[in-house]
Structures are given as structure tokens and as C-alpha cells.
Amino acid sequence: MYRQIEVNESQRPLQQILWRFDPSKPLKSYTLNTVTYGTASAPFLATRWVTCDSAKYTQIHIFTDASEKAYGACAYIRTVTHDSVEVHLLAAKSKVAPLKPMTMPRLELCAALLGTRLYTKIKKSMTMNYSYLRNSELENSKNILLKSSQHESFGEEYQLLKQNKRLPYKNRLLSLSPFIDAEGLLRVGGRLKNSFYDYDVKHPVLLSGKHRLTRLIFTKYHIQLLHAGPQLLLATIRQKYWPLNGRNLAKNITNSCIKCCRIKGETIQPIMGHLPAERTNLEFPFFDTGVDYAGPIMIADRKGRGCKLIKTYISVFVCLATRAVHLELVSDLTKEAFISALNRFMARRGKPRNIFSDNGTSFVGAFNELSNILKQDFSSHFTEGINFSFIPAYTPHFGGLWESAVKSIKYHLRRVLGLTHLTYDEMCTCLTQIEAILNSRPLTPLSIDTSDLTPLTPAHFLIGRSLTSLNGMQRGELTNGTMVLIKDSHAPPLMWLLGRIVRIIPGTDGIARVADIQTKKGIALQSKGLSVDQVAIKIEALRLFDEEKRMHLAEEAIDFTVQKSEEYNIPIEQRIRRKKRMPGKLASSTDDELTLRAQINKDML
């Protein structure tokens, strides 16, 4: 249809038409006051004028709202002239709320999005010029807000300074030497008037850290500086403003930022729990065992060219008491492969009492199939008497012992294999060598004392020595410095005292059967006091005599000690301080006391 629009009076000369019927007659001027357009005739003529003549500037205002049933947006155009202001409805848009129930805040956001799209459409459709706030207007608005904030926070101080009066002696602003500038803002004084810095740097605007405006300024700068920390935030703000208690406010803004809190959030680390009873009891190796799978590892199905790569896995068995490791190569994740690996393990290490493992839900990829294996019923004859226990889901730290073993195995495999693909037999050999290396790792800290023996390893509990060295026990006579084990019939073997020979006392035949042994309870024979644990007792290092003779020598030494203590009237547990003496030498005493050790040696030999 046709539309007829009235043209602005200032634009009408552009539609001026010059015409004459006769060349001899003067030209006549015709001016069109309206413009008509369209594709069909209109039943009525519509004229719409949304702006004013001689407009100083024009603004578009968007309003949005939402309810439970619908949400919408409308646009108003505001025209300001020298003496009037006119506001007209320009456009509107509404939508029905979705059938799916939504919260009111979400509906409000939908309305805001609709208003934004409406504004974009209007801006593209209209050809009029828009006026934005100038820098001077923004600066004046900012100064008005700052002065309002200062009046609310420093009202009394502002009035005193405005009247050219001094601040009270104990006023909090006195140390800052405040003054009021030409714009009516309260600024920090100082002695930098002649410096080359900007005026805002030399005399920053004074603000209270408790005011809402100050908090908004800190939030704006925190986002503008890409969520900077408290130090950078405060240093940047002090280039223009001087907030009181600004350091605490900067920390508060940074800590209350949602994005910063989400990114730097830390998981809760509770105190580690107590060790399981299976890791603290003195049991045989692999009596309590943990099992885990590592892999997959690609191996070649045969040697030579044209071989295919197949997946294999490592079944890791770890002793909870000695931390010894046993490795088995399995062909797949089936139940039969795991049972075969368990059979081979029990044939060489013995039948365990408890087996601990993951419950399978913590595995990813191929390890998801392991959950079906470990949760199946192992009720066959070979598992009778074995308790299977599974740690909770998503708690690999509960199985840290076997997870650590898997990490150590991968450490060696990465350095040995590289890009090489071994065959099944070669991989079995490689895993056996890695097993020997892991079982020869020290369990105790290494000592810098040259007289100390080799450190204790898991292999000592398996074969009595390390698997990677040849330093076995020397057979023959006892010598000074030899580490020996003192047998005690009233204690288990793992509780026997460990000592070192400090002095050998040979017999008449030249064979040493008596020695001074240094233990954690002492070694020397005292001149005024005698302790059973400090007597030179008869030993033979568990390898020279049979059981009956060892017991006889030990009982004879203890009986003689008690007899001598009663003869010389010396309390057995008594300890008397003496003057410093050289090691191995007795302090000066009576003749009877000097011959005490010689008499004991003579009678015991």
C-alpha cells in the first residue's frame, strides 16, 4: 500500500520542482511537503513524527520486563531541544514464556536479551544520528558522585576545610594534609607539587574504604585489570584515588570475586588416616597382598618382519608388610588370565590371606573391563581361605601402595623399551629383571657411616640378601665390627636385638666365644654397677654352635653375672657416674674392682 510521510520543513527544498508551460514565461517553483511511497494505494494516509525540530540530541531508551506467562521489551526515543523534551514510543516486542517452567531471574534475562536485539534492529533501521555522552559530561558525573561520597564519609572534615579551619589534633585525616581543589573534591596533600607527575598522582582523591562507591571503583578496576591480585589492584587505584583502609578492601574484593574463587579453589586435604593393620603386623611376605593392573603394553606376536602388535597387561602383586613386588604378564583382561596369574603367584610366593585391589570404577578405557573381573565370584578351590577386599570407588589414594609400585614399574619400562616392541618371552624376562630391581631398593635411609651394613631391602625378607649384589655373610671367626643377632628364646625372631661386636675375647684355644656387643641398651662392664644387658655375654652369631650349646652358654653367662654382683655387693641395675676415660679402659678403682673383668673372663672361658 501507499504511505505518505510529512517531510521536515528544512528538507522540503530538496523536493523543489521548477516548471513552466511556455518558454517565454518565467519559471514557477513547486515544493512538496510530503513524500509518498509503497506498492499499492493506501486506504488512509499515515503521518508519524517521532523527533522534534532542531533537536539538540536524541536518545533511545530500552525497557524490559517479564512475568510467569510472557516477557517483552519496548523502545522509547527521547529528543531534547533548547526549550523542550519529547518522548515517543518507537517500537515494542513481546514473547510468550516457554512451556517448560523457568525461574523469574531467567525470564528477566530473556527479556533483557530481547531488548538488546530490539535495540540493534532499531539502530540498523534508522538513519538518524545518535548523540552519546561526551567526556566532559562523564567527568562531571564522576565528580558529582565523588563529592557526594566525600560529603557522606567526611562531612565534618569537609566543612572545616571549606571554612579554612584546621582539623582536630586526633583526626584520622590530619596526617594526609587534605585540601579542597577547584572542583570541590577533597584531595590528599603532600610535598610533590613541583614534581612532573600528573595532578591525580600527586594529589589523589580521598575516599573512604567503607563507602559503596569506593567498593564499586575497586570492582571495576579488578575486572579491568583481568582479575588482578590485591597488590596490583591497590597500586593502580592509588594513581587516582587514595582509599582509606584500601589494602583490606583490595583483599576483600579479590577474595569475594566469584571467578577468582572458582579458579584458585583448593580441594580439602584431611589428615591422613591410620595405616591398616595389615601394614603394621609382622607377617610372612605376601601374606597380605595388594593387586593392581598396569598397561596396556604393546608386544609383538612373533619375531621378524610382518609381526602384529597385541595388547598385554601387567598384574602387580605388592606385599603390604615388606613392600616386596611380584610381577606377572597377562595376555588380556579376562577372568581366566587373572586366575592364571594368581595361580603362578601363589605357586612361587605362597597362598595369601588377604588380597586388596581397586573396585574397578576408577579405571578408564580398557581398565573399565577390570571391574567385571574383580567383582566376579572367585569361589573356586584355589581361593578358599582368601579374603578379597575392594577399596571405595574413586579413591585411588586408598591403594597408594600398589599405585606407587605401578609408577616405579612404568619408570623403568619407559627407559628400557622406548619405541621397541618385545615378544612375550622378552617382556617376561624384562619384567622379572624389573621385579628384582624393585625388590632390591632400600627400605631405610642410607647411612654415611662406613661401618654400617647394606640397607634393608624387600629381598632380605625373601632370600636373606639383595637380589642385585653378592655381599653375603662371611663364614668363619667373629671379628670386631661384625653385626650379629642376639637370640632370645622369649621373643620372636623379628624382635631379637641387633648388635655390633666391639671387642673379641678369645679362649685358650684361640677361638672367640665371648665378646662385648654394642646394642641399643649399652655395651660396657661398669666398675661400680653391673647390668645384665651390659655384660660380656657368650655368643656365637647363630652359625657356629647348635641350639643346645647356645642356650647353655647364654644361661651360664647370666648365672655368673648374678653371682658376681652378689659377691661384690653391686646392684645389677645401678649406674654410677665416672670420670671420662678412653673407650675400652676401666676407671681407677680398688684391686678387687680392677680384676673384676679378668675374673669374669677367666671363669666364663
DSSP collapsed to 3 states, 339-372: HHHHHHHHHHHCCCCEEEECCCCCCCHHHHHHHH
Instruction: Give the residue, 13 or 323, on which the prediction is more confident.
Output: 323
Let me know: does 321 contact 434? Beta carbons within 8 Å.
no
Q: What is the pTM of this model?
A: 0.46
Instruction: Give the residue, 475 or 224, on which the prediction is more confident.
Output: 224
For the domain made up of 283-438, give the CATH fold.
Nucleotidyltransferase; domain 5 (3.30.420)
Largest CA distance in the chain: 167
Grid cell in block for residue 167:
582539623
With cut-offs at 50, 70 and 90, classify the pLDDT of residue 519: confident
Candidate from 203-207, 250-254, 373-377 with smallest mean pLDDT: 373-377
Adjacent-strand bridge partners of 87: 78
Is residue 41's pLDDT more than 60?
no
With cut-offs at 50, 70 and 90, classify the pLDDT of residue 375: low
Let me know: does 314 contact 295? Beta carbons within 8 Å.
yes
Percent of the chain with pLDDT over 90: 23
> Rounded CA gap, 443 and 160, in Å?
77
pLDDT at 265: 79
Residue 428, H or E segment:
helix 424-438
Let me know: does 458 contact 324? Beta carbons within 8 Å.
yes
DSSP codes, 269-331? -PPP-PPPGGGTS---TTSEEEEEEEEEEEEESSSSTT--EEEEEEEEEEETTT--EEEEEES
Phi and psi dihedrals of 336, rounded to 5? -65, -40
527-550 confidence digits (pLDDT tens): 223 333 333 333 434 344 455 555
Residue 600, H or E segment:
helix 596-604
How many CA atoms does the CB half-sphere of 247 hold within 13 Å?
Answer: 0
Is residue 51's pLDDT more than 80?
no
pLDDT at 556: 63
pLDDT, average across residues 244-271: 89
Is residue 583's pLDDT more than 50?
no
Is residue 474's pLDDT more than 60?
no
Of residues 514, 503, 528, the one with CA closest to residue 592: 528
- Whole-number mean pLDDT of the chain? 77
Candidates 3.10.20.600, 1.10.340.70, 3.40.1160.10, 1.20.1260.10; correct CATH number of 139-263?
A: 1.10.340.70
Is residue 75's pLDDT more than 80?
yes
Let me know: does 513 contact 540? Beta carbons within 8 Å.
yes
Specify the pairing of strand 354-357 against strand 325-330. unpaired
pLDDT at 31: 82
pLDDT, average across residues 409-414: 90
Domain spans, the chain: 2-38, 57-125, 139-263, 283-438, 478-604
pLDDT, average across residues 187-203: 88
418-429 confidence digits (pLDDT tens): 888 888 889 999
> Rounded CA gap, 93 and 63, in Å?
11
pLDDT at 129: 60
Chain mean position to CA 215: 31
Is residue 198's pLDDT more than 70?
yes
With cut-offs at 50, 70 and 90, classify the pLDDT of residue 225: very high
> Rounded CA gap, 317 and 338, in Å?
12
pLDDT at 373: 55
> Rounded CA gap, 231 and 395, in Å?
39
Whether omega before 455 lies within 30 degrees of 0, making that bond cis, reads no
Grid cell in block for residue 186:
577533597
Is residue 454's pLDDT more than 70?
yes
